[in-house]
Amino acid sequence: MANTKSAIKAARKSKRLTDRNKTAKTRLKTLHKKLETVAKAGDAAAAAAAASAYVSAMDKAVKSGVVHRNAASRAKAQAAKYLVAKK
C-alpha cells in the first residue's frame, strides 16, 4: 500500500494509464485480426478499408505513447504487404 501522498497519486495514475494502454492494445489486436481475415478472404476493397482502420489506430497508439514508433512502422509495413498481395 502506498504510504505517501505522491505515491497514492502515482498509484492512481498508474491504474488509469494501464487501463488506457490495455484498451488501445486490445483494439489494435482486434483490428489486426480483422485485417488478416479479410485479406485471406480475398476482398481487396474490404482489405483496404481494414488496413486503413488498422494503420489509423496504430498511429493514434503511437501518438499517445502506447506503442513505440518503430514497432508501429513495422506493423504498418506488414499491413501494406497484405494489400500488395491482394492486388
In this structure, the chain runs to a length of 87
* Residue 34 placed within a domain: yes
Identify whether 26 is part of a domain: yes
User: Does the residue 78 lie in any domain?
Assistant: yes
Number of domains in the chain: 1
The answer to whether the beta carbons of residues 2 and 11 sit under 8 Å apart is yes
pLDDT tens profile 13-39: 999 999 999 999 999 999 999 999 999
Cβ 17 vs Cβ 61: under 8 Å: no
d(CA 75, CA 69): 10
Range of the domain at 78: 21-86
Residue 72 lies in a domain: yes
- pLDDT tens digit sequence for 57-69: 999 999 999 999 9
Would you say residue 74 lies in a domain? yes
Residue 36 lies in a domain: yes
